Amino acid sequence: MNRKRKELIVSALNNGTVIDHIPPERVFQVIRILGLDQTGKQVYFGTNLESKKYGRKGIIKISDTYFENEEINKIALVAPSATLIEIHDFEVVRKTHVVIPETIEKIVKCFNPNCITNKELISTRFHVIYDENGLLKLVCHYCEKNTSKANFVFV
Amino acid sequence: MKNRSLISISDYSKQEQIDLLDRAANFEQHPRRDILKNKVIASLFFEPSTRTRLSFESAVQQLGGSVVGFTSSDSSSVQKGESLKDTILTVSNYCDLIVIRHPVDGSARYASEVSPVPIINAGDGANQHPTQCLLDMYSIRKTQNKLENLDITFVGDLKYGRTVHSLIIALCQFNTRFHLVSPVELKLPSAVKRFIKEAKLHYEQYIDLTEVVAKSDIIYMTRIQRERFPDPIEYEKVKNAYNLRNNMLENSRPNLKILHPLPRVNEISVDVDSSSKAYYFEQARNGVFVRQALIASILGLIS
């Protein structure tokens, strides 16, 4: 009885956003990228939860907060499988998937050790391209070198 | 182009590139005039480069402008630990335009983002060297009377050679047929080949230079640069891979010209120098006119 009530408190979101299907090891990164560690709103998160689709997953719920596409898409690189659920007055009003944006800022380091972003205090900036095999690559705005997915180091 | 920095050749449209070549041709006719009088150009060479620096400085001085700057980072505040941003912000107070050569990739783009005056990239690490690219295009157009539909052969270090990469990307706008001659270790990177494919053009790769001499309008020779090799043994394996000699030119096309960004080591024998097909020293001379056209365009002094 008692246990059930606790779950309810956590699950019930009057107004706000649920970010579901986050890879479990990326939950804290998503929190950081969206600045949820700085918000004054209520934030609940869970990780290593059971998921039918992915085995394990992470989930974040933020009350009284909605995200612009541009903002939420920042998490697409770390959590491409994430779903976004907007809740108004306990009702789901919108369900979307994150989309990888055309430019990526600040999140990833440039793989080129001789790039200016690895020498001076500058935020990284990349243009997203797909190679002939359809694999995502980031082209550095500064040194113009490619960083491939296998070499992503998150800032 | 007024007030616009030039960091990568692709910062300027095809038409703007052609306009610059036209203006450069005009400077070749009249290289000495006073249009840069009372203008100060900063020449910041954080790594030494005699040719490029002298070419820029000569371009400015022939137009009556003056040059301030330094020729290596030993003599600058960099030695004292100043950041690039601070150097640029400070120097921009003293000049109308900054020419920068820097060993770090992407440094020129960054400089252009913090600088209140326009920046010309004179080489950023292994990344871009757009004025070399423009002078190469100028030299090709001048010797062939066109840029379209040519057979252009690149020889040597196609992997690390930054001038090769920029020039190939620029030539993708002109329906070029590319012939790529290199040791297996120094093939053109796939990131550059991608531009050729996207432009729906063709390239062929060769190991033997003699196979391709007779079908070239331009042979663009490059030095195999020791400093770009992470492993000295790899350098030893390929350093003498190519040597162009005069007798190899017997069956070449009458309009063939041989280009080289210089400095040359041993990839072109000195017996080629006296051939009418050798063009590398005139090519270097063209650099002055292209840089004059560029500086005058950015400062809005010609249209």
User: Is the predicted pLDDT of residue A147 greater than 70, yes or no?
Assistant: yes
Mean pLDDT of chain B: 95
Give the pLDDT of residue A11: 64
d(CA A122, CA A124): 6
Span B81-94, pLDDT tens digits? 889 999 999 999 99
Say if A131 is an interface residue toward chain B (CB within 8 Å): yes
User: Is the predicted pLDDT of residue B69 greater than 90, yes or no?
Assistant: yes
- Name all domains of chain B by residue range, CATH numbers in brackets: 9-128+286-298 (3.40.50.1370), 131-284 (3.40.50.1370)
User: Is the predicted pLDDT of residue A76 greater than 60, yes or no?
Assistant: yes
Span B183-226, pLDDT tens digits? 998 999 988 998 999 999 999 999 999 999 999 999 999 998 88
Give the pLDDT of residue A10: 55
Is residue B219 a contact partner of residue B151, using CB atoms and an 8 Å limit?
A: no
DSSP-derived secondary structure for A22-51: E-GGGHHHHHHHTTTTS-SS-EEEEEEEEE
**Which of B283, B14, B280 lies closest to B171, judged by CA?**
B14
Say if A133 is an interface residue toward chain B (CB within 8 Å): no
> Cα-Cα-Cα-Cα dihedral of A88, A94, A95, A100, to 10°?
-110
For the record, the structure tokens of B302 come out as 């010609």
Select the residue of A119, A142, A145 nearest B109 (Cβ to Cβ).
A142
**A137 falls in which pLDDT band (50, 70, 90)?**
very high
User: Is the predicted pLDDT of residue B75 greater than 80, yes or no?
Assistant: no
Q: What is the pTM of this model?
A: 0.88
DSSP-derived secondary structure for B86-110: HHHHHHGGG-SEEEEEESSBTHHHH
- Name all domains of chain A by residue range, CATH numbers in brackets: 2-97 (3.30.70.140), 103-151 (2.30.30.20)
Contacts of B288 (CB under 8 A, 6+ apart): B27, B31, B55, B58, B59, B62
Give the pLDDT of residue A1: 47
Residues on chain B touching A120 (C-beta within 8 angstroms): 83-85, 110
Select the residue of B110, B126, B190 nearest A142 (Cβ to Cβ).
B110
Give the pLDDT of residue B77: 72
Q: Which residues sit opposite A84 in a β-bridge?
A: A19, A96
Q: Inter-chain contact B105–A131, Cβ cutoff 8 Å?
A: no
**B273 falls in which pLDDT band (50, 70, 90)?**
very high
B51 is catalytic: yes
User: Is the predicted pLDDT of residue B108 greater than 90, yes or no?
Assistant: yes
**Which of B199, B200, B192, B186 lies closest to B168, judged by CA?**
B192
Mean pLDDT of B282-296: 98
For the record, the structure tokens of A67 come out as 């995200």
**Which of B206, B218, B81, B88 lies closest to B147, judged by CA?**
B218
d(CA B119, CA B5): 5
**B271 falls in which pLDDT band (50, 70, 90)?**
very high
d(CA B168, CA B218): 13
**A123 falls in which pLDDT band (50, 70, 90)?**
very high
User: Beta strand pairing status for B66-70 and B119-124?
Assistant: unpaired
Is residue A145 a contact partner of residue B105, using CB atoms and an 8 Å limit?
A: yes
Contacts of B271 (CB under 8 A, 6+ apart): B245, B246
Contacts of A152 (CB under 8 A, 6+ apart): A77, A108, A138
For the record, the structure tokens of B31 come out as 């290289």
Give the pLDDT of residue A4: 53
Mean pLDDT of A12-31: 92
